[in-house]
């Protein structure tokens, strides 16, 4: 639903995944493969508040409806996201779960399963309800604000996805009088990707990301100001 598909369906066919959103308050999607890319257009469409249109299997007509859902993606691996897509990052809230609950803890992130947790929570039902009511009142008064942990996780995630930014940190110098040709930077970037075991992005995409970070002009070839290659 939220990730780019290797074999996308025809847009003229039925869309049960869209119809499944109708009337829902919260929707869980799951992903398990490493290296999958978030479908930016689909995510923006599903979270933008515009009318959604879908068709059920064997349905004869498309059905328009207003979205009411919150989309949540459960995954062990964070999907690939374009670091320069500001509108997409505005929609992302990363909630890290740092611990695994197992019978025999052996790793630093392991915690022992509490087999009595359900019964213990039942005993605390009144306190849990009071906490929920307090949280609801605060939300009504101040709005629902992401906590610092979530904001920090998103910022770190975005830095990890900014491959061009990582290349610049490793291989370039940032100075007011520095200059570099676009082709020279891309060649250095491809060499860096080889060393790091990364797949390089297309040159056009690389150039678009550089243009969002530095001033440039065309002097027969594209030349960037404020950035140069380390000697």
- What pLDDT digit, counting tens, does each position of 143-176 carry? 988 999 999 999 999 999 999 999 999 999 999 9
Element containing residue 101 per DSSP (H, E): strand 100-102
pLDDT surpassing 80 at residue 12 = no
Single out the residue of 70, 117, 74 nearest to residue 97, CA to CA. 74
pLDDT surpassing 80 at residue 8 = no
pLDDT surpassing 70 at residue 104 = yes
CA distance 136 to 168: 44
For the whole model, what pTM was predicted?
0.78
Q: Higher confidence at residue 13 or residue 76?
A: 76
Output the pLDDT for position 178.
96
pLDDT surpassing 80 at residue 11 = no
Confidence grade of residue 180 (pLDDT, cut at 50, 70, 90):
very high
| Burial of residue 98 (number of CB atoms within 10 Å: 0-12, 13-18, 19+) | exposed
CA distance 150 to 11: 35
Give the DSSP letter of residue 3: B
Contacts of 71 (CB under 8 A, 6+ apart): 2, 27, 29, 43, 46, 47
Alpha-carbon Rg for the chain, nearest whole angstrom, is: 23
Is 18:53 a contact under the CB 8 Å cutoff? Answer: yes
Output the pLDDT for position 187.
97
pLDDT surpassing 80 at residue 40 = yes
- Over residues 15-21, the mean pLDDT reads 92
pLDDT surpassing 70 at residue 71 = yes
Output the pLDDT for position 10.
64
**77-92: per-residue pLDDT in tens?**
999 998 888 999 999 9
- Over residues 93-112, the mean pLDDT reads 94
pLDDT surpassing 70 at residue 14 = yes
**190-213: per-residue pLDDT in tens?**
999 999 998 899 999 999 999 989
The domains of the chain, with CATH numbers, are 1-93 (no CATH), 94-145 (no CATH), 162-229 (1.10.10.10)
């Amino acid at each position: 639903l939220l990730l780019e598909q290797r074999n996308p369906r025809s847009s003229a066919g039925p869309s049960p995944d869209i119809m499944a959103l109708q009337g829902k308050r919260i929707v869980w999607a799951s992903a398990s493969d490493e290296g999958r890319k978030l479908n930016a257009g689909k995510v923006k469409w599903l979270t933008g508040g515009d009318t959604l249109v879908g068709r059920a299997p064997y349905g004869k007509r498309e059905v328009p409806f207003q979205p009411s859902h919150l989309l949540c993606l459960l995954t062990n691996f964070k999907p690939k996201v374009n670091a320069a897509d500001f509108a997409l990052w505005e929609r992302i809230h990363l909630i890290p779960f740092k611990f695994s609950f197992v019978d025999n803890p052996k790793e630093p992130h392991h915690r022992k399963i509490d087999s009595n947790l359900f019964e213990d929570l039942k005993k605390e039902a009144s306190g849990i309800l009071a906490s929920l009511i307090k949280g609801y009142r605060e939300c009504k008064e101040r709005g629902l604000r992401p906590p610092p942990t979530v904001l920090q996780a998103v910022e770190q995630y975005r830095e990890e996805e900014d491959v061009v930014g990582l290349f610049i940190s490793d291989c370039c110098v940032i100075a007011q009088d520095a200059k570099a040709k676009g082709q020279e930077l891309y060649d250095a970037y491809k060499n860096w990707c080889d060393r790091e075991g990364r797949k390089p992005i297309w040159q056009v995409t690389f150039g678009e990301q550089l243009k969002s970070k530095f001033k440039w002009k065309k002097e027969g070839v594209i030349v960037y100001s404020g950035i140069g290659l380390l000697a």
